[in-house]
Amino acid sequence: MIHLDADLRTLTWTTQQAAEAAQVPPGRIRIWAHRGKLRPVNPRAARPRYRAAEVLQVEAEMRATRPQAA
């Protein structure tokens, strides 16, 4: 479970936590990182962590550009 009551600018999430918060599969977080939309705060680590605020920002941008279902 993800708690959003912390300072999202400094809070970091694992790929799994980021996926849970953005309501997407973990693979989508990896795709966003590969495409440069997300930058891990520890780029050389085996398990990247992402800033919570950036994850939520990218998620909102992706939702805004996604075509709406009829």
pLDDT in tens, 15-65: 999 999 999 999 999 999 999 999 999 988 889 999 999 999 999 999 888
**Within-domain flag for 1:** no
DSSP at 1? -
- Tokens 């998620």 sit on residue: 59
Total domains in the fold of the chain: 1
**Within-domain flag for 4:** no
pLDDT of residue 6: 67
**Within-domain flag for 19:** yes
**Within-domain flag for 69:** no
Domain ranges, residue 22: 12-63
CB atoms inside a 10 Å sphere around CB 20: 15
**Within-domain flag for 3:** no
| 2, pLDDT greater than 90 | no
**Within-domain flag for 7:** no
